[in-house]
Amino acid sequence: MNYSLKGTIVRIEPSLNPFRRTLIPKQHGQSQIDPRVVLSWIQNCNEHHGRCKIRRHESVNREPPLIRLIDVKSKRLITMREPVKYMALSYVWGNTTMFRTQKKDLKALEEVGGLSPYWNRLGQTIQDAILFVNSLNEHYLWADAICITQDDANEMRTQISQMDSIYNHAFLTLIALSATDANSDLPGVRLDTRSTTGAAAIVQGNVLSAQPPSAWADISSSSAYDTRAWTFQESVLSSRCLFFSEKRVIFQCLQSVEMEHLVSEQSSERPSPEHINPLVNLLSPFRNPTIHVNNPSALYTDFMRSFYLYQILTVNYARRKLTYPSDILNAFSGVMGMLERRGAGRFICGLPESSLDLALLWTHGSVRGIHRRNLGDNSTTPNLPSWTWAAWSGPVRWD
């Protein structure tokens, strides 16, 4: 484990510092996450963030009808038919041999302690997620490899069609930002699984603090997570995310960003939600449609906003990589489901029917490497027509 001191040294005199009550030097240099800090961020969001409350209220009537979850207390799988509070995990599978639930395993996994015999095969990312949820004294976690029966085609189809609901209804999504595969750590969950980022001390009444480089570097730096197609919709559809980077955890909701190792709550290194997710404003709840009954211009505005959101999401998604080309629409299904509720109507081969004339005006984002997407001879996905962007590999754009 390498320990280094990077960034800048700052001196803050308490008598001159208007934010002295918010100094939190004890967070600096911790090699393990303090669950109390994360819980305080969630509590603050619950109590003070109006935009987040609206998003949660809109989700009430769209709870997934059936969801299987990991009960982290009893170490088993449990099927829920009623709304329940749970966290979701978003991570990169990679080329791993981790355990994946199959039909033959279900009965054993639903017994108390049923996950214990499989613990060492779960993959480190899922293990750490279970430990972290338990450390917050929460009960339930959703992780696709465990909660979806991987050899049940009907269940796979149903669950994929519900991805927008699954991630939208999770009260927090854990994002394994620095992971390269499912055997990677969630840094900071266990002792000595991340490097410390700085130090702070009070010397003669002054706070001397080593500020790490901009936290935004942790989020914006190149990572396997940011290149994969499946993880795109998982982060986009989540109303609250907790990013696990190599040096710190960063909490982002619709209204604010919180992070470990800040010198003060007013630190200039704190990014806005838009810096972490440029789509935050676009993804905020639309205006109440009932006020549009006698206002056609407002309806038109929402129609165009919906199509603009579709464009932005598609452009960003098309850059991502897929292990199986036939998943091109499956990995975008949650986004399409969300857009349907926002006025886009049903989709035809990845294009919104309500604005099909505009959607057909897509073009290739680059002339290099453009080729038809090969779905493979064994694919159950029919060949896509040439007029959809999903039939082609490579970036797309609308001029």
Q: What is the mean pLDDT of residues 238-261?
A: 87
Using 50, 70 and 90 to split pLDDT, how confident is the model at 328? very high
pLDDT, position 297 = 47
Pairing of strands 8-12, 206-211: antiparallel
Q: Which two tokens stand for residue 196?
A: 């410390």
pLDDT number for residue 23:
41
Half-sphere exposure of 102 (CA within 13 A, CB side): 5
User: What is the per-residue pLDDT across 350-374, written as a single tens digit (0 to 9) for each?
Assistant: 999 989 999 999 998 776 767 888 7
Cβ neighbours of residue 361 closer than 8 Å, sequence gap 6 or more: 398, 399
Q: Among 229, 230, 236, 188, which Cα is nearest to 29's?
A: 188
Residue 4 has a pLDDT of 46
What pLDDT, in 10s, does the model give residues 135-184?
999 999 999 999 999 999 999 999 998 888 899 889 999 999 988 899 99
Higher pLDDT, 274 or 250: 250
Indicate the helix (H) or strand (E) that contains 108. helix 106-109
Between the two ends of the chain, the Cα-to-Cα distance in Å is 48
Calculate what percentage of the chain has a pLDDT beyond 90. Answer: 42
Range with the poorest average pLDDT among 26-40, 122-136, 276-290, 330-344: 276-290
d(CA 384, CA 390): 7
Longest dimension (CA), the chain: 72
Closest CA to 3 of 262, 197, 248, 185: 197
Confidence label for 116 from pLDDT (cuts 50, 70 and 90): very high
Q: Which residue has the higher pLDDT, 85 or 365?
A: 85
Q: What is the domain partition of the chain in residue ranges? A: 8-281, 289-398
- Does residue 288 surpass a pLDDT of 60? no
Asked if 288 and 342 touch (Cβ cutoff 8 Å), the reply is no
Per-residue pLDDT tens over the stretch 191-218 = 888 876 555 566 666 666 665 555 555 5
If you ran DSSP here, which 8-state letter would residue 287 be given?
Answer: P
Phi, psi at residue 152, to the nearest 5°?
A: -110, 100
Number of other residues whose CB lies within 10 A of the CB of residue 79: 11
Distances from the Cα of 187 to the Cαs of 73, 139, 149, 178, 245, in angstroms?
A: 22, 21, 28, 8, 7
CB 225 within 8 A of CB 231: yes
CA dist., res. 112 & res. 309, Å (int) = 44
